[in-house]
Amino acid sequence: MLNMVKGRYRTRLAETPADLEAAQRLRYLAFVAETGAEPCADGLDADDYDEICHHMLVEDQRTGALVCCFRMLHLTSGSEISRSYAAQYYDLAALEAYAGTMVEMGRFCIHPDLTDPDILRVAWGAMTRYVDDTGVEMLFGCSSFRGIDAQEYFDAFALLKERHLGPKRWLPKVKAPNVFRFAARLRRKPDAKLAMRRMPPLLKTYLMMGGWVSDHAVVDAQMNTLHVFTGVEIAAIPPARKKLLRAVAG
């Protein structure tokens, strides 16, 4: 039921090696070629997690071109969270006690040349349908800021500290060797408008759904990003936001 058609876009799960390679090429364009991350010769952004994930594709119906993709790792409960991509970078022991079904949403990207907001809406519509169909209770992943100069994002991090830190019972602890502990270090009052201008679009969407973040950012020099662990508990999504998402999913 994840095949959807909305306006000029359609969504579907990758089914073939060619589908997966198309997603990996789009990811390379978004996460490597456009960001200054370390390049690789084959032009693919690929890792071992691709083999255990479902890959969602958003395509332009008129041309067949891939415009957006992301991958999903389905976990029956927090007891499986050590299998996740995020577990490489964060100590997620607290979330091992989470009893509900979880999905790690990762490698979300939109073609860098495209700005149509409907692409993001359709992608979230597909995710909403997946959540409803499979009974997912928590979404989580890594939300990335481009570049590794934390000072560029001080207002954004200060706003995350002030309004969006995760509950203590689930909060990840430090695991990566290089992190920016923004909750401990920043004492500034954030400029909210500037903060939202510097906030990654995907993270904005998570926050509008009631999402929360870790108290530190991982400095990933290989990918040339700073990223924060991000969680969204489905039950906590505001009713108005759920209605909008389900309108697209329907």
Domain ranges of the chain: 4-249
184: enclosing H helix or E strand: helix 182-185
Other CB atoms within 10 A of residue 203 CB: 22
Superfamily of domain 4-249: Gcn5-related N-acetyltransferase (GNAT) (3.40.630.30)
Q: How far is CA 26 from CA 67, 121, 242, in A?
A: 8, 19, 29
Torsion of CA 142, 144, 147, 148, to 10 degrees: -40
Q: What is the pLDDT of residue 85?
A: 97
Mean pLDDT of 86-102: 97
Q: What is the pLDDT of residue 161?
A: 98
Q: What is the pLDDT of residue 5?
A: 83
Mean pLDDT of 239-245: 87
Give the strand pairing for 212-213 and 138-146. unpaired
d(CA 93, CA 99): 13
Report yes or no: 13 and 53 within 8 Å, Cβ to Cβ. no
Confidence of residue 12 (pLDDT cuts 50, 70, 90): very high
How would DSSP label each residue in 97-134?
A: G--S-EEEEEEEEE-TT---HHHHHHHHHHHHHHHHHH
Classified as helix, coil or strand, 190 is: coil
pTM for the model stands at 0.93
Helix, strand, coil tally for the chain in percent (to 5): 40, 25, 35
Average pLDDT over all residues of the chain: 93
pLDDT above 90: residue 4: no
pLDDT tens for each residue of 104-120: 999 999 999 998 989 98
Each as own residue / partner, the long-range contacts of residues 79-84 (CB below 8 Å, 24 or more positions apart, any chain) are: 83/52, 84/140
